[in-house]
Chains A and B, each alone.
Chain A
Amino acid sequence: MSAITIAQKDFQDAIQSWMLLGLTAVFVVFTAGAAYVYIALGAIGGGGEVSSLALINFLSGLTVFFIPLIGLIVGYKSIVSERESGSIALLLSLPHTRRDVVLGKVLGRTGVVFTSAIVGFLIAAGVVVVLAGSLSLGNYVLFVLASLALALTFVSLAVSFSAATRSSTLSLVGAGTLTSLFIFPVIWSLIPTLVRFILNEYTPLTLDMATQPEWAQFFVQLDPTAAYSNVLHVLIPDLTSGPLAGAGGDVPFYLAPSFGFVVLAAWIVVPLMLGYYRFNSTAL
């Protein structure tokens, strides 16, 4: 499988460039460090199930910010830098299709992020077990899985821009802009408010979903970091977070928390398809 071969080469390159090691260090500092600080500050009271949830809640508040950033940094140069240097000519003179290149890059870079994230989360778990005595393993694993899905989403997004552009600056601007819209959730949530303002609708200055029309609520759910929170909420129902956690009763399926899975999947697939389409239709 051609894409796997490319992914392996990319992974080797990441090892040689210290990217893997650096990223692992970042993850260890962030997750294990955050867990340590959280526990050391005495935020965990009694221990056991509830405190594990509180810890996951706390960690997810961080991951939602820094995992997208890492996805962006790892992905935005992946293809375009090969185009800029000319190594893409070497890559594509071997029997790989451009689809293999896009897929291989996503796999390779995701592999790098996954490896370092898993190491970071494992060490964080160790820190928690040692300091707090216990950790709800099932919930923690689900949290890690959801976080990996978030990582894959932002790696794909950045690789898509990297496939679609000819300059890494442009790729960074494109992927960076979109990523910032999502990691500062207020910005994305304000877009429907802004639209309603332009349309001269009555717009209370609030982020309370219930007061928004349905389309605006739906729009807000399209934020992949919101989708991540929703997915977490579905996977770990006891978790209090998630923008739709309060929305109970009869909501349309696209406003249900489980729609977060669809949103994440869409953010993984659709940009990649567009990026590939653009990459495939241009000369090298």
Chain B
Amino acid sequence: MSAIELTNLTKQYGDVTALQGFDLTVEEGEIYGFLGPNGAGKSTTINILLDFARPTSGDTEVLGHDAQAESKRIRERAGVLPEGFDIYDRLTGRKHLNFAIKSKKSDDDPDALAERVGIADAIDRKAGGYSKGMTQRLVLGMALVGKPDLLILDEPSTGLDPNGAREMREIIRAERDRGATVFFSSHILSQVEAVCDRVGILLEGELVAQDTIEGLRDTTSTEATLVVEVDRVADGVLDEVRTLAEVSEASAEGTTITVSCEDSSKTVVLDTIEDAGVSVENFTTESASLEDLFASYTTDEHHRPADEADQLRDGNSQSDGATIQSATGADGSTDEDTAGRP
């Protein structure tokens, strides 16, 4: 049985179609990253899972229950970190946790939960005085009450600092290892990339891709991007590079040459450039990150966010001249860079 099974899910607000009849399956025990730009329909989908909103048509099954008819049964077994929530300002963290414990008829210890999400020292303070990150931790703590079979987390790392985001990922992994299914939405790609077993990309109300990260790489692009800083761009050097079989694309801007090529052919490309009489001063490579995959789905032409280009330029000043960003290496280290992205 799947943890979440959406069939032909459609949601219309008047003339506006928010969800255009997509299917989505989340298997039990996996971490599923639900990706998409703002306004793609992620929150609408999650609101339908929780019966906060009702679909225009389509079937929504969560943990084997119909999301409309048996919503309470679902929420008995699910832990939720909703989007756009607010806490009860006047109640302490402990009262919040106790409320969740009582609501779920659980016997969890509020202190242990607070310890786990890192608010143990603030548990007896009124939650109205919590920072955004602490609020997020408190509600995550509430979501963990009663060892839920399914965690539904809507933009869980909102307001968390890089450290908090890392702890969030550790908890997500630990919950998966306990046997829970985790379904979380995000537009912060490094988050998804670092923890997800599978991802689905939602775009304008349609699920444009659903696969493992590896699978997505295979179906889109396995190429690396090589950015080479040179003293000058000689005539014909780009043509030389483009003739290489491993190269799909090459362009120049100022004294920077950007080459899309197979990961293994970097040396060949660099040699070709030097053979054309151009001296290479520095270079960086980047394997296709989820961000690139995401971009390839969410924009018509190949698109590189401006801040990522900045990151690459920064990389040039490093002594070894090469930074490789990959799925496994992104853990924790890139949160600061990505946190500000829209």
Residue of B nearest to A97 (CB): B72
Cross-chain contact B85 with A90 (CB below 8 angstroms): yes
B91 touches which of A9, A86, A283 (Cβ 8 Å): A9
Cross-chain contact A87 with B80 (CB below 8 angstroms): no
Q: Is there a chain B Cβ closer than 8 Å to A92's Cβ?
A: yes
Residues of A178-210 at the interface with B, using a CB-CB cut-off of 8 Å, are none
Cross-chain contact A87 with B87 (CB below 8 angstroms): yes
Would A89 and B52 be within 8 Å (CB), given that A12-B91, A95-B72 are in contact? yes
Q: A17-B90, A90-B88, A95-B73 are in contact. List 17 more A-B contacts (CB 8 A).
A: A5-B103, A8-B102, A9-B91, A9-B95, A16-B126, A85-B86, A87-B87, A89-B83, A89-B85, A90-B85, A92-B52, A93-B152, A94-B75, A94-B99, A94-B103, A95-B75, A96-B72
Would A94 and B100 be within 8 Å (CB), given that A13-B91, A85-B86, A89-B52 are in contact? yes
Q: How many angstroms from the CA of A92 to the CA of B88 in the assembled complex?
A: 14
Q: Is there a chain A Cβ closer than 8 Å to B62's Cβ?
A: no
Q: Contact residues of B with A, CB < 8 Å?
A: 47, 50-54, 71-73, 75-76, 80-88, 90-91, 95, 99-100, 102-104, 126, 139, 142-143, 152
Q: Is there a chain B Cβ closer than 8 Å to A211's Cβ?
A: no
Cross-chain contact B85 with A87 (CB below 8 angstroms): yes
Cross-chain contact B53 with A284 (CB below 8 angstroms): yes
B82 touches which of A9, A89, A283 (Cβ 8 Å): A89
Chain A residues with Cβ under 8 A from B54's Cβ?
283
Q: How many angstroms from the CA of A210 to the CA of B116 in the assembled complex?
A: 72
Chain A residues with Cβ under 8 A from B102's Cβ?
5, 8
Q: Is there a chain B Cβ closer than 8 Å to A240's Cβ?
A: no
Cross-chain contact B91 with A93 (CB below 8 angstroms): no
Residues of A65-113 at the interface with B, using a CB-CB cut-off of 8 Å, are 85-87, 89-90, 92-97
Cross-chain contact B99 with A5 (CB below 8 angstroms): yes
Cross-chain contact A283 with B139 (CB below 8 angstroms): no
Cross-chain contact B88 with A13 (CB below 8 angstroms): yes
Beta-carbon contacts of A4-42 to B below 8 Å, as 1s and 0s?
010011001100110000000000000000000000000
Q: How many angstroms from the CA of A97 to the CA of B76 in the assembled complex?
A: 11
How near does chain A come to B77, taking the closest CB pair, in angstroms?
8
Cross-chain contact B104 with A95 (CB below 8 angstroms): yes
How near does chain A come to B302, taking the closest CB pair, in angstroms?
38
Q: How many angstroms from the CA of A257 to the CA of B91 in the assembled complex?
A: 45
Chain B residues with Cβ under 8 A from A93's Cβ?
50, 75, 80-82, 85, 143, 152
Residue of A nearest to B73 (CB): A95
